[in-house]
Amino acid sequence: MERAIEKRLESIAKKFKEIEESLGKPEVIADQKKFQALAKEHKELLPIYEAYSEYKRAKKGIEEAIEIIENSEDEDFVELAKEEKKELERKAERLEEELKKLLIPKDPNDEKNVILEIRAGAGGEEAALFAQDLFRMYSRYAERKGWKVEILSLSETGLGGIKEVVAMISGKGAYSRLKFESGVHRVQRIPITESGGRIHTSTATVAILPEAEDVEVEINEKDLKIDTYRSSGAGGQHVNTTDSAVRITHIPTGIVVTCSNERSQIQNRIKAMKILRARLKELYEREQKEKLDSARRSQVGTGDRSEKIRTYNFPEGRVTDHRIKLTLYNLQEFLDGDLDQMIDALAAAEQEKKIEALVKED
């Protein structure tokens, strides 16, 4: 095991014992606030402490087996020691990998709901149709997971494509699974508008934002410019006779959010504020991350929205993620929401990067 990781584990083991000792003190028990805080920390450190204790027992067992192998004259005893040594080495190796994973800091956003934003990019109407395909893909994936999808804002084209859609995806662990999807998605196919049968390349941008709670992002009402305006439904039907659409501008950052899906101005304002909070949370967190040394970054790829992360190639029936160089030949199933194989591979790559960062720390 790398010395940097062992030092950290020794520090955690020491802290765990100190907390356990404190939890038995009468003055701590009397202070319920302090007791609960320590009990929570104790619970969080327990899996690491137990795994590390087991790892140390395995290492000690290996040392004892080596001593027997080197010093005993009883051949049967030596053979037994050799077998035990192999078994303990396998156990120690497994525990070492488990400990590295346990040491990786948890993403505080992982269990949160998601605000999904998809925008058509280069490619005109074909890009808008691709944006529609992507929205359907994520909606089907959410359906498979038992998550709820709620459209917050939608702008469609005449051919059924999407210029822009903003939706809330609610469900346990939604962000932990979808956070790898931010970036530019590229499609290669023959558009329905192409009469010559030529393959075109179009793009759409996907942004995955964790839902922000009121306590996480404080917004001063004085920093907001709120406009209302009249909007109409698709195809000019259901024309609004009231100014129910809402546009909110956050003056300090220049972020503008519009919402016109609901007939009630109040509902549109509530939804617009949800989007604004998520965008501000992402902005503040991104600014913080940019201040960190690049060696300590834990994302797979840069996470930049301008980064081309994936290509959907229809003629070859494949989908390729450029960050981890993984190609799957199940394009239709993928577009129907079968994303787990790709997401699992991205999560594993992220975990590997985080482990590498841990090893480098000393």
- Tens place of pLDDT for every residue, the chain, 362 residues? 888 788 889 999 999 999 999 999 999 999 999 999 999 999 989 999 999 999 999 999 999 999 999 998 888 899 999 999 999 999 999 999 899 888 888 888 888 999 999 999 988 899 999 999 999 999 999 999 999 999 988 999 888 899 999 999 999 999 999 999 999 999 999 887 666 678 889 999 999 998 887 666 788 889 999 988 876 554 444 444 467 889 999 999 999 998 888 888 888 898 888 899 888 988 887 776 676 444 334 333 443 445 699 999 999 999 999 999 999 999 999 999 999 999 999 999 998 888 877 776 65
304 and 202 belong to one structural domain:
yes
- Give dist(CA 274, CA 271) in Å, integer: 5
What does the alpha-carbon distance between residue 273 and residue 189 come to, in Å, rounded to a whole number? 37
Residue 277 DSSP code:
H
If asked whether residues 315 and 172 sit together in one domain, one would say yes
- pTM for this prediction: 0.70
Tell whether 216 is covered by a domain.
no
The domain spanning residue 171 has which CATH number?
3.30.70.1660
Same-domain pairing of 227 and 269: yes
Same domain for 141 and 20? no
| pLDDT (0 to 100) of residue 298 | 39
**Residue range of the domain that includes 14:** 3-103
- Same domain for 148 and 191, yes or no, is yes
Q: Could you give the 3-state DSSP secondary structure of residue 251? A: coil
Number of domains in the chain: 3
- Position 307 scores a pLDDT of 65
**Judgement on whether residues 149 and 201 belong to the same structural domain of the protein:** yes
Q: Which of 256, 291, 326 is the last residue of a domain?
A: 291
DSSP string, 12-70: HHHHHHHHHHHTTSHHHHH-HHHHHHHHHHHHHHHHHHHHHHHHHHHHHHHHHHHHHHH
